[in-house]
Chain A
């Protein structure tokens, strides 16, 4: 599962980077493994990319149903609604996992374009970023990979299916 890891002596914060289709159980499991070695602040960071919104702004974009193959207009409103739902769903799931583990969890939503704030959250050497492997395909990964933090990339079949 582990694709990349940068070693550091101490750990201050574990940041779980999630997107609208991240494999939460696997990410969470990895975070718990780390936390069991060294207690740290736990944070979930929803990296809100605006690809849906940008695609929806184009006049010819259609959403094709995975079930029936039927095509429908993909509007900005639809993109906003999907984004909100995805954030809410992920937040709820993360909070539930944290409650079960009796841990405090901070949940942040930042646009991928806000690279400075993202780097500020994860950029130090004492921090660890746990992210789905598909993040490598996103532009933000280029910036994250230049940071001092350790990065753990998690891969899953489910995610592959969704992303592929």
Chain B
């Protein structure tokens, strides 16, 4: 391999970074630009959301798929707002007492805006009743009527006693009162007879007295038994009077309300129930004496609380359909809840303690929820599906449903549901639910899949510049200069890991703009310039690159062994990427291979110790297959090879090192050394074709960093798959190093090109006799494999002879 040959694979500096120099817009500062499309490149998602929102059939709820920071919420909310205007405000809902069964509060539905009006009217009614009813009972007329009733009853009672008393007196019997009862005794001259006086009476008279007393006793008992009936009759008369008084006091007030709300279904019957309850419980409204025990006293305001209105959903008359984004989708926040209060050691509740959830608030409109949060809150997902299937929302405690709570609670009437749910989440959650939740697709038929990237056409670049200008305005940042915007666009391509694409991840774009604005403000500038953008990028990397610096330092101090000069047989510099979430970086890794005679297996040590992932193992198997198919296809592959990532103590995943691994094996087999000033990345297929890998920019920059610390001499470089060239968006520093001949990037299409560059020796092509040139790498590999095959055959024959001799 000559310098000229490797030069043929060199990637020209212009291809190392797709600079943004095609921005056709004529402006100097971003504030001169008009507003851009708010959701550039998301037409598919926009169409899907509009379709989902407009579709009124059951089950056409939405799932907006996209990564965090892609402004999924903003897109869904903005579109919902546009369409919410077309829909009118939904109904108001309130819970009222069910006088027949207080544990099952009933609902009343009002046109938007009238719910609060009705609540206020009922409150006014209560306030008036609170005064009017006690006043009616305090009225002189009432007291006179009550007194008359009491006198009637008293007279009835007295008549009972007096008539008995007279009857007894006529018979010479006294009726004596004791604290608890009555005693009948014979009298003479107003004196009760003693036992001696009674004994002195003639026998006939004694018998007569006893008979009279016996008869009077029976009559007395009969009259005593009548007393409760008299008292009951009195109570009934008083109750009737109280009802008449109450009816008169509240009748007028209620009839006014009845008339006002005669067009609202259910209100009339509810007011009838209110009136009946007030009449039935009229005595409760009388001002009673303070009880002897303070805790037995009743709060007079509570007497009327059962007529209050619990307005759970209230809308403005001229409002649009509601759009609710519930950031904490817990069960109570979504479904609603029934609160309790402690009273004398017990938890009690009533219809006034019913609290609505987001489903109620968004009823008739749109409810936006984060699916990840939803799924991590207990019971909510199932409850939400249940509500959507049943088309109504029923408030009940999950604790009660699962039998955890035995406190008295309510079973409020369900409220009909007409709602569009918009779930926001990452793709994997959508696919997971779609696959494993058999009800999911019945309820969420519309997927709005946000694009991560935008094709970097001239038009799209212009639109992207307008988008940047819009976001700058939205965030009230300093105006960006044209070069600054161009630099931002380049960074967005880097974020997309593709020189021909632009990232649509909006949060990272906003972060870059805000941080560039910060650095511009730090230098008291009135415009964000390209240096501010560069500084923002570098400072961000600097804040996050601790691990990267540690690795580079370890390589520099030879703690982590990486050669960047010289040549070694069976040793190659591979490249790996470490992903730390918001930050990723590449660094070289030494890959070594050893070979000897064997049975055709290539051992992946990473896999053997279970540090290699499935894709890595797959890559190893593919390279084994590539090796056996390329060389001596008519001979059994009689080698044993082992490949390892040196000084790797964590897991290894991906197949991007398979080209490097094959190079190491070929070097080991052929004895041709590998240049250590080069690193290689790429995956390989069974035919030796080099395929694209991810993180290409980070990998190149990772090796560049290591070489730079040791001193660049123009020999250093990285071999990458040709198809990765379009992904290149290298840092300016690397591009400049390449321009100055200090660093190289080679792009290859197959293993022959890679091995030629990395060994500096011709890979070699088969001639007409199907042989590789003997001095080529391929020729030496094949020669060694043939030698292994013959040796293996010899060993096999020798073993057979020994077995025959033993027999």
Contact = CB atoms under 8 A, between A and B. Distances in A.
Contact of A69 (B161, B183, B210, B221): B221
Contact of A64 (B161, B181, B193): B181
A9 interface: no
Interface in B66-92: none
A82 B162 contact: no
Interface stretch (B184-192, B424-432, B499-507): B184-192
Given A55-B185, A164-B161, A69 B179 contact: no
A65 B180 contact: yes
A137 to B, nearest CB: 7
Interface stretch (A30-38, A92-100, A154-162): A154-162
Interface in A25-62: 50-52, 54-62
Given A52-B176, A160-B158, A71 B217 contact: yes
B165 A65 contact: no
Contacts of A69: 220-222, 224-225
A161 B183 contact: no
Contact of B177 (A54, A59, A138, A163): A163
A137 B180 CA distance: 21
A102 interface: no
B224 A61 contact: no
Contacts of B174: 51, 55
Provide the main secondary structure of the chain A interface. mixed
Contact of B181 (A51, A59, A65, A86): A65
B152 interface: no
A3 interface: no
A85 interface: yes
Contacts of A74: 178, 183
B224 A63 contact: no
B198 interface: yes
B195 interface: yes
Contact of B178 (A50, A57, A82, A157): A82
Most central of A20, A57, A67, A157 by chain B CB within 10 Å:
A57
A120 B192 CA distance: 25
A35 B346 CA distance: 55
Nearest to A86: B179
Contacts of A58: 185-186, 193-195, 198
A63 B183 contact: yes
A8 interface: no
Contacts of A164: 158, 161-162, 165
B56 interface: no
A111 interface: no
Interface residues of B, number: 35
Given A60-B213, A64-B220, A161-B157, A54 B225 contact: no
Contact of B180 (A51, A61, A63): A63
Contacts of A63: 178, 180-183
B754 to A, nearest CB: 113
A20 B179 CA distance: 8
Interface in B751-784: none
A21 B177 contact: yes
Most central of A54, A71, A85, A138 by chain B CB within 10 Å:
A54
Contact of A68 (B177, B190, B193, B224): B224
Nearest to A82: B178
B559 interface: no
B179 A57 contact: no
Nearest to A139: B190
A137 B221 contact: no
A64 to B, nearest CB: 5
Contacts of B180: 63, 65-67
Contacts of B224: 64-69
A71 B225 CA distance: 13
A50 B185 CA distance: 12
B184 A61 contact: yes
A64 B186 CA distance: 16
B158 A57 contact: no
Contacts of A86: 179
Interface string A78-93: 0000100110000000
B154 A162 contact: no
Interface string B154-166: 1001100110010
A52 B221 contact: no
A138 B179 CA distance: 19
Contacts of A51: 174, 176, 185, 191-192
Contacts of A85: 179
Most central of B180, B185, B227 by chain A CB within 10 Å:
B185
Contact of B195 (A21, A57, A66): A57
B179 A64 contact: no
A83 to B, nearest CB: 10
Interface string A93-136: 00000000000000000000000000000000000000000000
Contact of A71 (B176, B179, B198, B221): B221
Nearest to B160: A164
Nearest to B164: A164
B158 A54 contact: no
Contacts of B192: 50-51, 54-55
Contacts of B191: 51, 54, 139
Contacts of B227: 66
B177 A64 contact: no
A64 B210 contact: no
A162 B210 CA distance: 24
A55 B179 contact: no
B217 A162 contact: no
B182 A82 contact: no
Nearest to A71: B217
Contacts of A62: 183-184, 217
A64 B185 contact: no
Nearest to A59: B195
A65 B193 CA distance: 22
Interface in B216-252: 217, 220-222, 224-225, 227
A50 B224 CA distance: 26
Contacts of B158: 160-161, 164
A157 B161 CA distance: 13
Contacts of B190: 137-139
Contacts of A160: 158
Nearest to B220: A64
A141 B184 CA distance: 22
Contacts of A60: 210, 213
Interface of A: 20-21, 50-52, 54-69, 71-72, 74, 82, 85-86, 137-139, 157, 160-164
Q: Which 4 A-B pairs have the closest CB atoms?
A: A55-B185, A69-B224, A57-B195, A69-B221
Given A58-B193, A63-B181, A69-B220, 19 more contacts: A52-B178, A54-B195, A55-B183, A57-B194, A58-B186, A59-B195, A60-B213, A61-B213, A62-B183, A64-B220, A64-B221, A65-B181, A66-B180, A67-B224, A69-B224, A71-B217, A138-B190, A139-B189, A139-B190
8 contacts: A61-B184, A63-B183, A64-B184, A66-B182, A67-B180, A69-B221, A160-B158, A161-B161
